[in-house]
Amino acid sequence: MRYPFDRLIRADAVVVGSGIGGLTAALAMAPRRVLVITKGDPGGGSTPWAQGGIAAAVAADDSPAEHAADTVSVGGGLNDPKAVKVLTSAAPERVAALEAIGVHFDADVEGHLLLGREGGHHRRRVLHSGGDATGAEMMRALVRAAAGADHVETLPFAFAADLVTDGGRVAGVTARTDEGEKVLALAPAVVLATGGIGRLYANTTNPPEVTGDGLAMAARAGARLADLEFVQFHPTALASGRDPMALLTEALRGEGAVLVDDDGRRFMVEVHPDAELAPRDVVARAIWARLQAGGRVFLDATAAVGASFPERFPTVFSLCLEDGIDPQTQPVPVAPAAHYHMGGVATDLEGRTSLPGLWAVGEVSCTGVHGANRLASNSLLEATVFGHRAGQSVRAAAAPAVEATAAFAAADPGPAPGDVSGPVADLRRTMWDQVGLVRNGGGLTSALEHLDELALLLPFGASEARNMVDAGRLIARAALARPESRGAHYRSDFPAPDPAWAAREPVGA
Ligand SMILES: Cc1cc2nc3c(=O)[nH]c(=O)nc-3n(C[C@H](O)[C@H](O)[C@H](O)COP(=O)(O)OP(=O)(O)OC[C@H]3O[C@@H](n4cnc5c(N)ncnc54)[C@H](O)[C@@H]3O)c2cc1C
């Protein structure tokens, strides 16, 4: 019998994605044999790009309960309180676990951790590394730990195309390597850790590989999804024409940087009592309104950070210099950009999805911790807390080994994609214009019609582009189905929250 794949790999678990969520889960599964399939090299994804840091109540004047209160206060009433409690209570021990694998957090000469503050946090509780290179430091340590772990094998430069199922259970994935090899990986546990959906938008801070693959795969397999309409737009990306846009971390505003208009006037003081440190959706829409009116907006850190820029924010400093701006002495032009997806594949507190055999962790998942809006620096935290719990859950699960039966004979990841840059650019523009930070019913309906047309243009094998269209349609449909504004979801035709939409179904239910 001829199979449509070139190689069959069997493992106890397959993890798709090698960011903080995927590698944390894989490490926690020992001694189970884990195959990590990842699109690029194992250090890719959004994780190494994370700047500001990871939130944890480690200061003497702070507590997990206060961290939880701040998390809920920006979440528009939709946070799952049980998930928030798990997140904030486990934060200090997960920070210690990261230190144990070699993550170095910035500290003063006496060894006291240096804690930053960001929007929505009422305490200094953001740990950072290398100033604003927190994600790169975490990724370095995680990749090294995974490389040294006997139970973890990595298949890099391999695109996971689809989940395969057997008798109602998820039983593996199909994948295609960059060399064109077709792989069928069978395992009784599959963990999606594919990150978010930033690349669906014309303006984004996310790397190109973040294309909503896990969300689309889970949807095709029939997994329960949640909160898809809630996409976070970061207020301050560097408006210099890059794609992706460079992020100017919120920690800059935490250190006192201010937002000014063309006349050098601080406008956030009139918009919200917390001014520049108001929740992200509030700041992003205030900037958006000024840009739509034809003005420009700048982040001015000249007084608050000034000469300490190269040391405190080296990543942002060099990105600005590359674009000819010296942020020590010049205000930096900014614009909002798609940054983070609060919604995703619904999971319980152990990362289990509604499908037997399938877990989801990190940004692709929806544990319910963020509700309608994510508190800054809570996403690395969510990925490490729930990634670890999911890994432990997979380790403990007594699932039968998957036999390579005829059920998988048709598992084909498809041929290598041709050039689909035209439809993809069209999709990204449509999402930005009509499913972006200000939406309305007419725009969402027309976006859905256009995405349907784009789907017809994609050839067989264009799996990534198809995932982008599928994920875009899911987000647009969810946005259309919520006739109110809440958190990051803003409808100009329904600009107020509607109490009828204030409650959430528990995500793991
Ligand atoms: C510029 C920037 C700054 C940020 N700053 C912060 C911050 O300071 N604090 C904070 O808490 N959060 C921050 N975030 C958000 C945070 O970085 C992410 O939410 C988090 O890193 C997501 O981790 P993850 O493991 O879920 O996914 P990622 O790190 O995105 O990893 C996804 C992985 O999945 C792989 N993958 C995807 N699709 C496939 C497929 N089909 N087949 C195989 N592999 C696949 C990718 O190659 C990658 O390895 C920032 C994000 C960005 C973009």
Whole-number Å distance between alpha carbons of 103 and 393 = 24
Strand spans (E) along 204-346: 225-226, 231-238, 258-261, 297-300, 332-341, 344-346
Q: Is the dihedral of CA 454, 459, 463, 465 positive or negative?
A: negative
Confirm if 313 and 306 have CB atoms less than 8 A apart: no
Please tell me the predicted confidence (pLDDT) of residue 509. 46
Which residue blocks in 375-418 are alpha helix, DSSP H? 379-396
From 280, 312, 374, 389, the catalytic residue: 280
**Polymer length in residues for the chain:** 509
Confirm if 159 and 463 have CB atoms less than 8 A apart: yes
Whole-number Å distance between alpha carbons of 339 and 138 = 19
One of 3.90.600.10, 3.50.50.60, 1.10.3730.10, 1.20.1260.10 is the CATH number of 7-230+342-405, namely 3.50.50.60
Where do you find CATH 3.90.700.10 in the chain? 234-337
Q: What is the dihedral of CA 2, 4, 5, 9, to 10 degrees?
A: -80
Where do you find CATH 3.50.50.60 in the chain? 7-230+342-405
Whole-number Å distance between alpha carbons of 366 and 254 = 27
Whole-number Å distance between alpha carbons of 161 and 10 = 17
Please tell me the predicted confidence (pLDDT) of residue 63. 97
Tell me if residue 477 is catalytic. Answer: no
Confirm if 443 and 434 have CB atoms less than 8 A apart: yes
Whole-number Å distance between alpha carbons of 62 and 64 = 7
| Fold of the 421-501 domain | Methane Monooxygenase Hydroxylase; Chain G, domain 1 (1.20.58)
Atom 20 (ligand 1): residue with closest C-alpha? Answer: 47
Pick out the chain residues at pLDDT < 50: 509
Residue among 24, 41, 47 to mutate when testing ligand 1 (max atoms within 8 A of CB) = 47
Where do you find CATH 1.20.58.100 in the chain? 421-501
403 Cα–ligand 1 center, Å: 32
- Residue 160 CA, closest ligand 1 atom number: 42
| Fold of the 234-337 domain | Flavocytochrome C3; Chain A, domain 1 (3.90.700)
Pairing of strands 169-177, 297-300: unpaired
Please tell me the predicted confidence (pLDDT) of residue 364. 98
3-state DSSP assignment of residue 10: strand
